[in-house]
Amino acid sequence: MYENLKEEHLMAYKTINPFTNEVIKTFPNATKNQIEDSLKIGTDLYHQWKKEPVATRSKKLHDIADLLREKEEELAQTLTIEMGKLISEARGEVELCALIADYFADHSAELLQPTPLTTKAGEARVEKHSVGILLMVEPWNFPYYQIMRVFAPNYMIGNPMILKHSSTTPSSAVAFTKIITEAGAPAGSLTNLFLTHDQVDQVIADPRIQGVALTGSERGGSSVAQTAGKYLKKSSMELGGNDAFIVLDDADLDQVIKVAARARTYNAGQVCTSSKRFIVADNLYDEFLKQLGKTYRHFKPGDPLDEQTTLAPMSSAKAKAKLEEQVNAAIANGAVLYQGNTAIDLPGQFFEPTILTDITPDNPAYYEEMFGSVAQVYRVHSEQEAIALANDSHYGLGGIVFTKDKKRGQKVASQIETGMVFVNTFLYTLPELPFGGVKNSGYGREMSAIGLNAFVNDKLIVAVDKPDFENRAGALF
Ligand code: NAP
């Protein structure tokens, strides 16, 4: 079933340090036997887990959280060396993974309790059962956190998982799965495979696979979702975003700037929920630009392992080249370069935080996701214009609204066509909060009770002592 690997796919997985450009390690693609073994072991584990109550897995998930914390520094360095994020941000990612693991270890058994139903058909309830092996396809921007969002809930449910990570973050994939193994989770809980795209399709087609969760771009999502659809496998898609950060006319600009500066530069701007479009009320627009520009000038590029560095390199030469191309195209199509976009004299993949204004709907930049520190700033003259502009997007992932009036902010938030909106604060990601979007940002949610239920069999069981032949409305016979 699994075809021989094509020559160009061999050794596609590479760790390249984006600060030094050094190729640190290459990894061979998965073999036919590795794929088959992982499906076999996953199937056995699925059947084994079905016999055990959910709560029995909670202790091991806490052990995984403990081990993540114990090995935080080593794990964080792997991230920083492989995809360039600041070491402090890498440590934060490891801690967030531990938080997610603890949360699902503590709450899953209760959240997966059967739900009783009131019906004249009999004693009815919906039980939540595992479904089988899942494939997760993950991106490079948060190499551990993206895995944990799928792993923790599905481990508790009892769905074994196969991981296909980004070809640019194989070392992170190996480091994460090593933690799972070292913590003592059974083999097959999470199997990392360096799959080619063709092999991803073949794995999805396998009858032992029951679902696929992808986080990535629209292009990757569309391709994997098509295969999932073809083989009738349930899927969830966490894709890109072009999030709006709305600054209403009564907002406190000091607070706005503190959040805005981070919202576009955290993780070198490579975040699906980065605020990519700043939509600013006319009365605050000039001052907003001035102050945002000032904060952007203070970033210090350097080695992301150095605590003093505040501007990290982008994840790869490819990511930087794409962003430069997009910025140049935006300017060629009439955008005004307010600040930035000048070369940084370091060998790594650095991109200077950049501010663009005067982007019109006919500019390609208007609808595109720019995956790096480029702030598009728009001027609006009313609340309604701000909402309309926020909604004039092919994406619908997150968003932020700033106003001194929290209630007004909540009303505006309700009118924004996205999956998540935060008023007067950062865009948080926490295990108790659902994460996901609408439109081309994908479908389904990860984390929270909603994410926990993404891949369960909601099984209805109705029981009576004997049939009631007098009460047949709705009976299918
Ligand atoms: P990507 O190119 O779509 O890659 C994501 C994953 O999908 C990688 O493992 C990639 O493998 C795989 N993939 C891509 N095309 C595939 C195909 N045709 N068949 C099988 N697998 C395929 O995305 P990216 O550039 O790494 O990540 C950045 C994107 O992710 C941005 O758009 C960002 O907004 C989005 N994102 C979304 C969320 C969210 O929660 N909504 C979170 C983070 C990032 P290879 O590396 O082998 O190509």
184 with 211, same domain: the answer is yes
Q: Is 297 helix (H, G, I), strand (E, B) or coil?
A: helix
In this predicted structure, the answer to whether residue 6 has a pLDDT above a threshold of 70 is no
In this predicted structure, the answer to whether residue 443 has a pLDDT above a threshold of 70 is yes
- Spatial separation of the C-alpha atoms in residues 109 and 97, rounded to whole Å: 19
Q: At 336, give phi and psi (nearest 5°).
A: -100, 130
Pick left, alpha or beta for residue 259 (phi over 0 → left; psi -120 to 50 → alpha; otherwise beta): alpha
Cβ pair 24, 208 in contact under 8 A: no
Pocket lining: 135 vs ligand 1, CB cutoff 6 Å? no
283 with 140, same domain: the answer is no
52 with 86, same domain: the answer is yes
- Spatial separation of the C-alpha atoms in residues 211 and 235, rounded to whole Å: 6
Condensed to tens digits (0 to 9), the pLDDT of residues 215-248 reads 999 999 999 999 999 999 999 999 999 999 999 9
Cβ pair 149, 26 in contact under 8 A: no
163 with 253, same domain: the answer is no
- Of 197, 199, 223, 276, the one to substitute when testing ligand 1's pocket (max ligand atoms within 8 A of C-beta) is 197
Pocket lining: 341 vs ligand 1, CB cutoff 6 Å? no
For residue 461, list its beta bridge partners. 125
Chain CA centroid to CA 419, Å: 13
125 with 267, same domain: the answer is no
231 with 279, same domain: the answer is no
**Cβ atoms within 10 Å, residue 267:** 22
318 lies in which domain range? 243-423
332 with 453, same domain: the answer is no
Residue nearest to atom 10 of ligand 1 (CA): 166
Pick left, alpha or beta for residue 280 (phi over 0 → left; psi -120 to 50 → alpha; otherwise beta): beta
In the structure encoding, which two tokens stand for residue 337, read together?
């370069």
- Whether residue 351 is contained in a domain is answered as yes
- Whether residue 467 is contained in a domain is answered as no
Given 238, 369, 383, 446, which residue is catalytic? 238
Look up tokens 């080695």; give the residue: 303
Using the Cα atoms of residue 404, residue 405, residue 408 and residue 413 in order, give the sign of their dihedral.
positive
- Of 27, 137, 195, 374, the one to substitute when testing ligand 1's pocket (max ligand atoms within 8 A of C-beta) is 137
- Whether residue 469 is contained in a domain is answered as no
Cβ pair 157, 99 in contact under 8 A: no
- Whether residue 226 is contained in a domain is answered as yes
- Whether residue 432 is contained in a domain is answered as no
339 with 366, same domain: the answer is yes
Helices and strands per DSSP (H, E), number in the chain: 14, 20
Condensed to tens digits (0 to 9), the pLDDT of residues 254-271 reads 999 999 999 999 999 999
- Spatial separation of the C-alpha atoms in residues 153 and 431, rounded to whole Å: 10
pLDDT band at 476 (very low <50, low <70, confident <90, very high): confident
75 with 102, same domain: the answer is yes
- Whether residue 434 is contained in a domain is answered as no
Active site residue 238: yes
Mean pLDDT of the chain: 96
CATH number at residue 123: 3.40.605.10
278 with 307, same domain: the answer is yes
Pocket lining: 239 vs ligand 1, CB cutoff 6 Å? yes
- Spatial separation of the C-alpha atoms in residues 379 and 342, rounded to whole Å: 24
CATH number at residue 275: 3.40.309.10
> 45: which residues sit within 8 A by CB, 6+ positions away?
160, 186, 187, 188, 189
Ligand 1 centroid – CA 166 distance (Å): 7
- Whether residue 386 is contained in a domain is answered as yes
- Whether residue 8 is contained in a domain is answered as yes
- Spatial separation of the C-alpha atoms in residues 315 and 267, rounded to whole Å: 9
Pocket lining: 420 vs ligand 1, CB cutoff 6 Å? no
How much is the average pLDDT of 45-73?
A: 98
DSSP state for residue 474 in the 8-state scheme: T
In this predicted structure, the answer to whether residue 2 has a pLDDT above a threshold of 70 is no
pLDDT band at 477 (very low <50, low <70, confident <90, very high): confident
- Spatial separation of the C-alpha atoms in residues 173 and 164, rounded to whole Å: 8
Pocket lining: 141 vs ligand 1, CB cutoff 6 Å? yes
262 with 393, same domain: the answer is yes
Q: How far is CA 244 from CA 86, 275, 392, 399, in A?
A: 25, 6, 10, 5
Determine which of 1-10, 73-82, 220-229 has the lowest per-residue pLDDT on average: 1-10
Condensed to tens digits (0 to 9), the pLDDT of residues 341-374 reads 999 999 999 999 999 999 999 999 999 999 999 9
What's the pLDDT score for residue 1? 37
**Cβ atoms within 10 Å, residue 429:** 19
232 with 288, same domain: the answer is no
Cβ pair 299, 311 in contact under 8 A: yes
* Number of structural domains in the chain: 2
Condensed to tens digits (0 to 9), the pLDDT of residues 94-151 reads 999 999 999 999 999 999 999 999 999 999 999 999 999 999 999 999 999 999 999 9
**Cβ atoms within 10 Å, residue 72:** 18
